[in-house]
Structure 1
Amino acid sequence: MSLKKFLSTMIGVVLVFILVFGIYSLNITVSKAGSKKVKITLMSTKGEINSQLEDVAKSFSKTYPNVNLEIIPVGAGQSPFEKLSTMYASGNAPSISMIDPSDVAKFKSYFLNLTKEKWVKDAINGTLDDITFNGQVMGFPFAIEGYGLIYNKQVIEKTIGKFNPSTIKTRNDLENLFKKLQQKKVTPILISPLDWSLGAHYLGIAYGAQSKDMQKNYEFIKKLKTGKVNLQTNKVFNGLLDTFDMLRKYNYLKNSPLAGTYEQGPQLLANGKVAFWFMGNWAWPQIKDANPQNSEYGFLPVPISNDPNDFYNKAIVAGPSKILCIDAKNNSKAQQLAAKQFLNWLVYNSDGQKAWVYTLSIIPPFKNINLTPNDPLAKSIISYLKEGRTFRTPILPSDHWPKVGASMQKYLAGIIKRSQLYTEIKNYWLTVK
């Protein structure tokens, strides 16, 4: 071999060695960068699934072993707005905040713009409307939830025979059913005296049932803010409160209306102490735990009139109830990336989808997910959705449920009359900017 050929061969070997070593070094670098542990936190405002969320976090870490997801539960009775405000004030905001849709606008300057995320195109139509500002999507719709009158079918049919929910079309129909149950010594209903249940959910129906056109509902709220609405003559408010008056006649807590707790509800309903409970599908884990042998439950709408053709007598409230937002102020780029990975894991990973739907019993607001929760309450909501018998309530101010909820508690207990309740609701709206 000539010297020239020898040198050429050696140079080739050296170049190959440099190339291979370079790639190997690069792989080590990438591996080390990828192996860096990242801790992210999720502030949970759904106390009923906190333990299940812990399980979901562990499942997520199996897919992303370098990410440690910690669940931070919000204390019972504390609003998501108050908790998150405190955390931002201390400079210790969670990586992911689970908040009510009404709170997204208040914190949007702290959140990451998620408009370019893949899941935006897969979200069910309308589920991003309330969390999109100037074309920017500032949150992730976490759950479609619904509420109304949860019924225990086993208890009803054991007491009065076969029960067909579709026969209850008016307020009078519902009261006649209550009378039959009461005659057989079964207490018809439990009204839990929780300010969020009364102020956000029950009274929320009055705002959402003003019109099928959501824009008109928001116009109604604008008029409330300027004192241009006379609630005394409002058909929907009066109809809803007429129903409330009827419900409290048959209330399990009739003699001590403000003494109940949330935890009491699943026990009473699941064990047949009451036939109905005004609540939402988020209560399923506790209902199931209280009586694992019974899975025959469903929703009845809260009737607001005696017109059998009234749409709102056959529809329940259902829509996005909780939003996940990623912090852009107190969390690093690595933490923000890990938080995005968690959201994408829920939507696109088969284990993530199963954890979301089966472990958390949540109806995901995404078209690409075909799984259905096993629980009967979720199935009931899905049937209402498919039949077009749902409506949404407008976004209400964050302090609506504690303030107006307190007024509803007084009305429930008979401390104030309806005219006084209307005055308190009117005065509340006059303070809202």
Structure 2
Amino acid sequence: MHRAARTATVAIALATAFGITACGSSGGEGVAADAKQTLTVWAMGAEGEKLGDVAKEYTKANPNVNVKVTPVGWDVAHQKLVSAAAASTLPDIAQMGGTYMGEFAEIGALEPVDTKVFDEKDFFPASWEQGVVDGEVYGVPWYVDTRVLYYRTDLAKEAGIDKAPATWSELRSAAEAYQDKAGTKWGLNIQPSGLDTVQSFYPFLYSSGGEIIDKDGKAVIDSPAAVKAFEEYGTYFDKGLAKKSVQPGYDVTKDFNKGDVPMFFSGPWIMTLLNDQYPDLAGKWAVAKVPAGEKSVSMAGGSSLVISKDSDNKAAAKEFITYLTDTKGQEDWFKRTSDLPAATAAWESGPLAEDPNLQVFREQMETAKNSPPLPQWSEITSKVDSAVEAVTQGKESAEDAAKKAQSEVEGLVK
């Protein structure tokens, strides 16, 4: 999910100014599920465009329910949601990621999930946890994504690498071998600085056993494990294995295709992009789980579906979300979008079960870690962005950068 354009603190202040509190509506079901009604849905980006087709099919089978999908661009999604919440005009259903969940749950805009209908055990652990705020579930997992390692298998052979790197030391050795023996310009692409550098850093942080905020809500970005992750990340820049600067909008797949960058971390959509744009690369690349520090852990992303607290169509909304998140609906959504299903049963047959690269994503999702649903999460991660940049640019040691970030993050969570 993309970062909110405005901070959660501002959003909460705005929503409070408009009179939203945790009280919300009565929480009743309102109109019966099979009564004639229009169900409003907001979905973001490409999902918003694709969901309209699914809605048409659903309406054919359920003619009393007109599902009206409004596509919303990610660049304006946060602002639109905040404004709608402030005016009590949220749609019946909205697509929402973990970085928004805490914010909108806190202002009382969301209806708790009916856990008798939607069962935690049917979904990846991290995807379910993304919708949990203060012990209450507000989002039903819709699709997931995580980051894994993409690597050039043909260049690996030239470099004398006979298997995917499974540990940090193997990853460093592979990066060096790609440069020294296969003649690549770089060994690994990881983000050196800028907005959302933290997303590139997560596989190192989580695999070291580190976190930004622990389960008790305390800042721990200066823990020994986190410092170790900063050190490891910085090593690639110190040794000239990774670029110290990249242009905004940099597309790593172009350098991956040319052979300048033989390894990078990214999500499942890159597989489709590589297959479509670089068909000559077929059979020359593969994916592998994030190399382990203490263990192999990557970030968990994706989106959930939420119901507005003020909706009068909660019963129909619940049925439409069931349609989208049961096994059949999840399989259909994957075919339409290549979004990875959040429901684990959808992975048991068809392409999801047969494609070895897709199965890597499934395995990674089993241990993937989601960000805590804190309203100020964007502000918190911006401090980590700055710490990573200080390390990659040689401005501060890993320990000093971590200490500075710790102090700044503590100021945000107190």
TM-score with structure 2 setting the length: 0.73
Aligned-residue offset at 1:243: 1.8
Q: Which residue of 2 aligns with 1:418?
A: 398
**Contact map agreement 1:96 1:327 (CA 8 A) in 2:** yes
Paired AA for residue 334 in structure 2:
V
Pairwise mapping of residues 23-422 of structure 1 onto structure 2 (< 5 A)?
Answer: 34=36, 38=38, 40-44=40-44, 47=45, 50=46, 53-65=48-60, 66-75=66-75, 84-89=81-86, 91-108=88-105, 109-116=108-115, 118-120=117-119, 123-124=122-123, 126=125, 127-132=127-132, 136-157=136-157, 159-160=158-159, 163-165=162-164, 168-183=165-180, 184-186=182-184, 187-193=186-192, 195=194, 197-200=196-199, 202-203=201-202, 205-206=204-205, 209-210=208-209, 217-219=214-216, 222=218, 224=220, 231=222, 234-248=223-237, 249-251=239-241, 253-254=243-244, 257-261=245-249, 264-293=251-280, 294=282, 296-304=285-293, 310=294, 312=295, 315-317=296-298, 319=300, 321-329=302-310, 332-334=311-313, 336-348=314-326, 350=328, 352-369=329-346, 370-371=348-349, 372-373=351-352, 377-384=357-364, 390-393=367-370, 395=372, 397=374, 398-399=377-378, 400-422=380-402
SS in 2 for 1:189: coil
How far apart in 2 are the matches of 1:144 and 1:277? Answer: 20
Aligned-residue offset at 1:300: 4.1
**Contact map agreement 2:189 2:263 (CA 8 A) in 1:** yes
Aligned-residue offset at 1:275: 0.9
How far apart in 2 are the matches of 1:86 and 1:396? Answer: 20
1:333-374 deviation per Cα after TM superposition (whole angstroms, max 9, x unaligned): 24x455434322223373x33332222223323244334547
Counterparts in 2 of 1:286 and 1:192: CA distance versus 1, 3 Å: farther
Counterparts in 2 of 1:59 and 1:169: CA distance versus 1, 3 Å: closer
- Structure 1 gap segments, 5+ residues each: 1-29, 305-309
Paired AA for residue 273 in structure 2:
Q
- Structure 2 gap segments, 5+ residues each: 1-31, 61-65
More helix by share: 1
Paired AA for residue 287 in structure 2:
G
SS in 1 for 2:233: helix
**Contact map agreement 2:166 2:291 (CA 8 A) in 1:** no
TM-score with structure 1 setting the length: 0.70
Aligned-residue offset at 1:87: 4.0
Q: Which residue of 2 aligns with 1:25?
A: none
SS in 2 for 1:323: strand
Paired AA for residue 55 in structure 2:
F
1:23-44 deviation per Cα after TM superposition (whole angstroms, max 9, x unaligned): xxxxxxx9x964x6x3623242
How far apart in 1 are the matches of 2:121 and 2:399? Answer: 46
**Contact map agreement 1:141 1:322 (CA 8 A) in 2:** yes
Aligned-residue offset at 1:207: 5.6
**Contact map agreement 1:316 1:391 (CA 8 A) in 2:** yes
SS in 1 for 2:151: strand
SS in 2 for 1:54: helix
RMSD (Å), alpha carbons = 3.6
